[in-house]
Amino acid sequence: MAKDFPTRAENYAQWYQDLVIKADLAENSAVRGCMVIKPYGYAIWEKMQAVLDRKFKETGHSNAYFPLFIPKSFFSKEASHVEGFAKECAIVTHYRLKNAEDGNGVVVDPEAKLEEELIIRPTSETIIWNTYRGWIQSYRDLPILVNQWANVVRWEMRTRLFLRTAEFLWQEGHTAHATKEEAIEETKRMLDVYADFVENTMAVPVYKGVKTANERFAGALDTYCIEAMMQDGKALQAGTSHFLGQNFAKAFDVKFTGKDGKQDFVWATSWGVSTRLMGALVMAHSDDDGLVLPPKLAPIQVVIVPIHKNDEQLAAITVVANKIVDELKKLGISVKYDDRDTHKPGWKFSEYEFKGVPVRVAIGPRDLENGTVEVARRDTKEKSVMQLTDLTLKISHLLDHIQDNLYKKALTFREENTHHADSYDEFKKKIEQGGFVMAHWDGTTETELKIKEETKATIRCIPLNAKKEKGKCIFSGNDSEQRVIFAQAY
CB 373 within 8 A of CB 361: yes
- Contacts of residue 332, defined as CB under 8 A and 6 or more positions apart, other chains included, come to none
- Under rule CB under 7 A, residue 14 binds RNA: yes
- Under rule CB under 7 A, residue 3 binds RNA: yes
- Under rule CB under 7 A, residue 168 binds RNA: yes
The rounded distance, in Å, linking the Cα atoms of 489 and 229 is 9
What's phi and psi for 68, nearest 5 deg? -70, -30
The piece of 13-21, 98-106, 427-435, 469-477 that touches RNA (CB under 7 A) is 13-21
Q: Which of 276, 285, 296, 419 is in the footprint of RNA by CB under 7 A?
A: 276
- Under rule CB under 7 A, residue 447 binds RNA: no
Shortest reach from residue 458's CB to RNA, in Å:
8
The rounded distance, in Å, linking the Cα atoms of 149 and 169 is 8
Shortest reach from residue 282's CB to RNA, in Å:
14
Instruction: Centre a 10 Å sphere on the Cβ of residue 116 and count the other Cβ atoms it contains.
Output: 8
Amino acid code (one letter) for 337:
Y
The rounded distance, in Å, linking the Cα atoms of 359 and 417 is 29
Q: Which of 10, 88, 288, 481 is in the footprint of RNA by CB under 7 A?
A: 88
Q: Which of 58, 87, 134, 330 is in the footprint of RNA by CB under 7 A?
A: 87
- Under rule CB under 7 A, residue 324 binds RNA: no
Shortest reach from residue 79's CB to RNA, in Å:
15
Q: Which of 45, 74, 207, 217 is in the footprint of RNA by CB under 7 A?
A: 217
Which three-class secondary structure state does DSSP give residue 356?
A: coil
Q: Mask 385-424, x = binds RNA (CB under 7 A)?
A: ----------------------------------------
Q: Which of 191, 324, 363, 487 is in the footprint of RNA by CB under 7 A?
A: 363
Give the residue with the Cβ less far from RNA, 154 or 440: 154
- Under rule CB under 7 A, residue 166 binds RNA: yes
Shortest reach from residue 359's CB to RNA, in Å:
11
Shortest reach from residue 263's CB to RNA, in Å:
32
For residue 121, give the nearest of 90, 161, 87 by alpha carbon.
90
For residue 212, give the nearest of 469, 463, 422 by alpha carbon.
463
Give the residue with the Cβ less far from RNA, 157 or 319: 157
Q: What is the DSSP string of 242-290?
A: EEEETHHHHHTT-EEE-TTS-EEEPEEEEEEEETHHHHHHHHHH-BTTB
Q: Which of 274, 392, 417, 480 is in the footprint of RNA by CB under 7 A?
A: 274
Task: Tell which positions 17-36 bind RNA, by CB under 7 A.
Answer: 17, 28, 32-33
- Under rule CB under 7 A, residue 58 binds RNA: no
Amino acid code (one letter) for 44:
I
Which three-class secondary structure state does DSSP give residue 7?
A: coil
Give the residue with the Cβ less far from RNA, 138 or 322: 322
Distance of CA 120 to the CA centre of its chain: 22
The piece of 51-59, 181-189, 190-198, 376-384 that touches RNA (CB under 7 A) is 376-384
- Under rule CB under 7 A, residue 237 binds RNA: yes
Amino acid code (one letter) for 94:
H
- Contacts of residue 369, defined as CB under 8 A and 6 or more positions apart, other chains included, come to none
- Contacts of residue 204, defined as CB under 8 A and 6 or more positions apart, other chains included, come to 198, 228, 238, 280, 281, 284, 285, 407, 410
Task: Tell which positions 132-161 bind RNA, by CB under 7 A.
Answer: 154, 156-161
The residue ranges of DSSP E strands in 275-354, in sequence order, are 302-306, 335-337
Q: Angle at which helices 39-58 and 180-200 pack, to 10 degrees?
A: 140
- Under rule CB under 7 A, residue 374 binds RNA: yes
DSSP 467: P
The piece of 71-79, 295-303, 367-375, 467-475 that touches RNA (CB under 7 A) is 367-375
Q: Mask 281-320, x = binds RNA (CB under 7 A)?
A: --------------------------xxxx----------
- Under rule CB under 7 A, residue 345 binds RNA: yes
Using a 10 angstrom Cβ sphere, with 0-12 exposed, 13-18 middle and 19 or more buried, the burial of residue 158 is exposed
User: How many residues in the shown chain lie near RNA by CB under 7 A?
Assistant: 63
- Under rule CB under 7 A, residue 379 binds RNA: no
76-87 b/e (C-beta count within 10 Å ≥ 16 → b): ebbeebbebbee
Residues that bind RNA (CB under 7 A): 1-4, 13-14, 17, 28, 32-33, 84, 87-88, 154, 156-161, 163-166, 168, 215, 217-218, 237, 240, 274-276, 307-310, 341, 344-347, 349-351, 353-354, 360, 362-368, 373-374, 376, 381, 383, 456, 489-490
